[in-house]
Chains A and B, each alone.
Chain A
């Protein structure tokens, strides 16, 4: 190395010095290097300068895993090296306006994406934040509504599972009436359905000739405005009989209808109730 400048150092020599600095060289080679740098000022400076490069490469992740481990081992025992590393790390915080972007290595991968976020105007970023916030609030509100609906449904289901009220007991005053299709019972004269005050159920019987057995839907309506007062599903055949709560049958005119489960009307009966 004598008679030469440090700038003339070959790649092999440089690699050997790096190994020496990382404690990865046989003792004999170490001694030779030590003799050189004790004698040669330029060689010593070249060696010291390699530390600058090692620090930079370690921070940039440019060392091999083995070199990085050796460098970190050195750092653990070398306060001066840690000081150097801290200084170079802090350099990154002083750079924003100092280093022209063209000379820096282009960021890669996901870093490029995150760095690009810095260029978004503040107003746009604020607007985006507001939209995200509104979306979050809407989502939370909808979730609460949905939870509330589910709670209602659970309450309804629970109520349905409660034991039904005991059926009204037959009373001695419960009347039974027969209805004929096409005849308005009680529309004139004394044939109106008289329901005693103590009655609980009113039994209505009617004929549905020619209708096969099956489920029928029976409904009680007001003939003037068509409003439904009561309905029930019954097992029907050529004759049907329903028990209507007496309280529903206030004085007035009614139409009882029977239709199939598919909605096909089978028959209607009209009658008048008096008390």
Chain B
């Protein structure tokens, strides 16, 4: 079934003449994943890809983009969300994770996690490494005062570093893992 969806998507993209810049595509996809995560969909990436696929198809069919492509995608995302609720009710809260998929990092033993994380941390500039650790393990208000920043600004700064670390502890491309591709890339498959 997944192969069927993928084939349909690729065909759609190949026929598409929609202007969908890669940066915008990634930006929208990231928002869509966040949207579905926050609505407790256990497969946010698949849902996001489905939204993009539908959006591109609608655009090809001549749908009106008003006021923007992002708003259009949000509308499609709400439809997909409603449909997914019909197919599968919101996950009942239980003691066990309803999403059994586990990330690569969480699956490692604690010792392996520390070793890998240590390696990733040492690839960061010392100032960033220090800031990340101090934020998570120290007094963040004191830290904000010391850096002469608002709590929000400091949080965003730390978040950028954390994103880098989270990305670096994940498997790298070329090791057999799948990564989302821009529709334009997929069209050349």
Q: Footprint of B on A, CB under 8 Å? A: 5-9, 14, 20-21, 23, 34-35, 37-39, 41, 44-53, 56, 59, 73-95, 98-99, 103-105
Contact = CB atoms under 8 A, between A and B. Distances in A.
Contacts, number: 164
Contacts of B98: 76-77
B155 A34 contact: no
A104 B97 CA distance: 32
A56 B154 CA distance: 14
Majority-rule SS of A interface residues? helix
A58 to B, nearest CB: 11
Interface of B: 27-28, 30-31, 34-35, 37-38, 40-42, 44, 68, 70-71, 73-74, 91, 93-94, 96-99, 101-106, 110, 113-114, 117-118, 121, 129-130, 132-140, 142-143, 146, 149-150, 152-153, 155-156, 158-159, 162-163, 165-166, 169
A59 B38 CA distance: 20
A95 B117 CA distance: 11
Nearest to B104: A83
Contact of B132 (A9, A44, A74, A91): A91
12 contacts: A8-B152, A14-B152, A48-B34, A77-B42, A79-B102, A87-B105, A94-B117, A98-B121, A98-B129, A103-B142, A104-B137, A105-B138
A94 B130 contact: no
A83 B137 contact: no
A95 B156 contact: no
B113 A86 contact: yes
Contacts of A98: 121, 129-130, 133
Given A7-B152, A49-B158, A94-B121, A79 B103 contact: yes
